[in-house]
Amino acid sequence: MKEAEIAEQFRLFQQAIVLAGEAVETLKRDQRAAIAALRLDVEVLKRCLFHIPPNLVVAPRASHNTLDLSMRYPHHVFLRANGI
């Protein structure tokens, strides 16, 4: 190979290395942003979880693939029976 060809190949390799480094930095930045978004989602879910009444029963029905989200406490039966 001639010296000019070698110099051109070297320059192209350097350019490829720079581009690869920039791509890695972009991926790192995107990954950090995705992790931050997931952390926010977890915080929102935690706050929602704390607002669920502790007496809410979630039980699978035997005949359906849905969930029974009804309340299972006497005061709720009393309120419904009296039309309140």
The token duo for 70 is 């009804």
Q: Which residues lie across from 71 on neighbouring strands?
A: 56
Q: Is the pTM of this model over 0.85?
A: no
pLDDT at 61: 57
The confidence score (pLDDT) of residue 25 equals 97
Beta carbons within 10 angstroms of residue 71's beta carbon: 14
- The pLDDT assigned to 78 comes to 47
Q: What is the pLDDT of residue 56?
A: 75
Write out the chain's pLDDT in tens, 84 residues. 699 999 999 999 999 999 999 999 999 999 999 999 999 999 999 888 888 777 776 665 555 555 555 555 555 544 445 455
DSSP tally for the chain: helices H, then strands E: 2, 2
